């Protein structure tokens, strides 16, 4: 199946800056190259010590702006920035998260996307799970004057999802053989989040995952997704 991305709109929902690249960097590049538009809604970032590094809000926001410019993203928003929300989105009422996805500055109502990519719900990160649940609810098949039914709803793969109680079962693949270098370059612009050696968030591991997914469909490199809805006219 070949998708014509011309005039198509992709909305990527990301719990934190860098998740959009890790999961959808190839798809983002493919949509832009194909003449479509890409919009990114990130939820939160904060100051905290991490395994193998640190998270500094100010630095990560600057990194995000560089990445959005490099990928030529048409619009983006960081909705809930701050230490009171970072790694605490599971404490935020789901209704508030859903409202952000449905009616925020970069949202279903403002973008009216043809494709939406949301986090995989099986993550061990509480922010990812909270955003995945809210995103899935926001994509429910209810049409009104403010929100259309998005025709394609995908969950994207994260490098860390191999450690989970719920397995990722891809049924939708995107050939990113021409886009992988751009994806890895975009990841490198998140310099504070790139790790070393065998950490899942390294260029080498990202390439290995893309190569593995590529072997599953007979191409050099691919991104894998779970497709929840696909409406063909």
Q: Where are the domains of the chain?
A: 9-230
Measured in whole angstroms, the distance separating CA 216 from the mean position of its chain's CA atoms is: 21
Q: Give pLDDT tens digits for 156-198.
A: 999 877 777 788 999 999 999 999 999 999 999 998 877 777 7
Using CB atoms within 10 Å of the CB of residue 147, give its burial: 0 to 12 exposed, 13 to 18 middle, 19+ buried.
middle
The CATH-assigned architecture of domain 9-230 is 3-Layer(aba) Sandwich (3.40)
What is the reported pLDDT for 54? 62
Measured distance CA(227)–CA(108) in Å, rounded: 18
Reported as type and span, the H/E element at residue 136 is helix 126-138
Using CB atoms within 10 Å of the CB of residue 216, give its burial: 0 to 12 exposed, 13 to 18 middle, 19+ buried.
exposed
Give the percent of the chain with pLDDT over 70.
95
What is the reported pLDDT for 16? 95
Q: Give pLDDT tens digits for 50-73.
A: 555 566 788 989 999 999 999 999
Segments in the chain below pLDDT 50: none
Contact (CB, 8 A) for 98 and 138: yes
């Amino acid at each position: 199946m070949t998708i014509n991305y011309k005039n198509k709109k992709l909305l990527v929902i990301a719990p934190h800056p860098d998740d959009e690249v890790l999961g959808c960097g190839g798809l983002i590049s493919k949509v832009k190259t194909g003449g479509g538009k890409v919009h990114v809604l990130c939820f939160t970032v904060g100051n905290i010590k991490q395994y193998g590094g640190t998270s500094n809000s100010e630095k990560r926001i600057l990194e995000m702006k560089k990445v959005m410019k490099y990928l030529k993203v048409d619009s983006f928003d960081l909705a809930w920035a701050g230490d009171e929300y970072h790694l605490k989105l599971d404490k935020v009422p789901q209704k508030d998260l859903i409202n952000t996805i449905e009616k925020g500055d970069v949202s279903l109502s403002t973008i009216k996307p043809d494709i939406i990519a949301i986090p995989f719900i099986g993550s061990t990160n509480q922010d990812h799970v909270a955003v995945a649940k809210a995103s899935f609810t926001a994509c429910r098949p209810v049409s009104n004057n403010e929100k259309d039914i998005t025709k394609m709803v995908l969950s994207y793969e994260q490098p860390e999802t191999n450690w989970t109680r719920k397995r990722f079962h891809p049924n939708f693949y995107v050939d990113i053989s021409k886009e992988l270098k751009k994806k890895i370059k975009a990841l490198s612009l998140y310099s504070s989040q790139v790790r070393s050696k065998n950490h899942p968030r390294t260029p080498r591991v990202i390439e290995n995952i893309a190569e593995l997914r590529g072997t599953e469909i007979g191409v050099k490199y691919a991104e894998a997704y779970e497709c929840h809805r696909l409406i063909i006219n």
